[in-house]
C-alpha cells in the first residue's frame, strides 16, 4: 500500500501488526505499527 511506504521512506521500522485492529467503513482492517528509536533518529539527522 502507498500509505505504508511513507513511514518506511522516513526511516521508521515496521514493528508489528494488529490484525483486525480498526473497523473502517464496513469491515475490519489491520493496523501496522512503526517505530523509530532515538539512535536511529540521530543517524537520520546526520544524513540531512
Largest CA distance in the chain: 44
Query: Any idea which residue has 539527522 for its cell?
Result: 45
Q: Which three cell numbers stand for residue 30?
A: 489491520
Whole-prediction pTM value? 0.76
| Chain segment 1-48, per-residue pLDDT in tens | 788 999 999 999 999 999 999 999 999 999 999 999 999 999 988 876
Helix, strand, coil content of the chain in percent (nearest 5) = 40, 45, 20
Quick one: how far is CA 42 from the chain centroid? 18
Amino acid at each position: 500500500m502507498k500509505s505504508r511506504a511513507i513511514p518506511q521512506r522516513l526511516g521508521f521500522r515496521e514493528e508489528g501488526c494488529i490484525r483486525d485492529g480498526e473497523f473502517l467503513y464496513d469491515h475490519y482492517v489491520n493496523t501496522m505499527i512503526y517505530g523509530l528509536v532515538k539512535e536511529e533518529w540521530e543517524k537520520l539527522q546526520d544524513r540531512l
